[in-house]
Structure 1
Amino acid sequence: MSRIENNLIDRSSKYFSKYKKSNGDLSKEELNLIITVEPIQLIRKMAKASKNNSDYGEIKSGDIPQFSKLKHCGFDLVHRLAKLDFCYGFTYDEIGEIYLDDDHKQLAYKKYGENHAKTAEMFGLIFIDRGTRPHKSYLTNLGKLISENEYSIIDLVLTNTIITSSFFRYILVKAYFEDVSVSKEIDFLALETIKRRLPNIFGVLKFIEDNSNGIEFIIDSINK
């Protein structure tokens, strides 16, 4: 990897961190970096850093996604929130009501909204204000970026931000060097919880694979 490429990826990673925060708009140059860096470049950079430190990091239960539909915590959610007025903030119940029919109990709306809001937060698309009762969700600048741009760049941006989230960074970087059993990596969860989470995890990995070039060898190293 050339020095220029290294510098490009370093800057792109920094801008992802900046853009996942609730404030601080990106310049046109920074935006161009985010949408031009390939996912495999980010993974290689993170893998190199982890190898140098002999540390893949760690997984916490809160880092593992739980959702019913990926798009309901991705591009579809941010587009809907932007149209409804993202400055207002949305409760878990309100997010659930966006997607579920009218014949559900209130707890179902809250749980659906909570799962998808928390996953969107993992990906850096929204931030949840836990200082309010009930908690409210707002679009981050990255969420605004996705809501304001064409679908042609959304998948790449979303792929890169998922790759840099704690759980998938851990799995992908470790799989860069060795075979990974996801079930073993999350065996601190109850067995039934693992069974529920695995389809989510592999659904996201499929999304990453579909929107990336040259990472097949990494995905092939990841098993249930």
Structure 2
Amino acid sequence: MRDVDAIVFNLTTAALMVLTFKCGLLLVGEETVRRRPVPWAAIALTAVAVGAVVLQLAWPGAMDALDADPRKSGWWRVVTSVFLQNGGVFGGAWNLVTLAVIAALAQWFWRGPLMLVLFAAGVLLPQQIDALFGETARSTDPRNFAGSSGATYFLAATLAAGLLLTAPRAKERLLALAVPAGGLAMWLAQENGHGLVACYGFALGAVLLPLARRLPHPPVPAAGVPGTPAPADGPGGTPAR
């Protein structure tokens, strides 16, 4: 029975990532990807994560020294633990690939500095919420003391919030709303922390976007990329306004 529960847990977790990826791709526009700049901040973030895996392979004591086990002291653990991986070969590869893809989509929309700020929020916010409610078991943190998945799901959910606030079509906005709805359902049914951090990321993205639009270099959805045609809405193909 535990094996079945683990399979269902992994499938729903993966499904939420696929859903957030779809939202991010709609937000930045698949047809604009080739015209977007190289996402150097995303590449650098992924390189740090890959470097941490290499460190784990080369140094047997890396997990003990750098994970986020609350029984151990060390202010650095909340940050270093994010770049360690403890899900085996498949889990580690999944975390690295999804981090690279989501970070690139997030940089193309939010731009590099805001992407890094939001990733950092995904690293720090679960711990702060645990402290606020007196939790010591990190119940809201899906990392299980190590792993980049929590911060990645958080960052991915900010893209769903961006889609909700910028999409011209109702079906795209409904798809965006499915991210926090599905995340909350996963938390209530499975205590799956990936779903809860997705809700946090969605909420922060929705609050941040109106403010970010006032910056000298605001976020760039698909419609903001030069050469992108106006989307059609409705059976008559009337351009969306």
Give the TM-score normalised by structure 2: 0.29
Structure number with greater Rg is 2
Larger helix fraction of residues: 2
Give the TM-score normalised by structure 1: 0.31
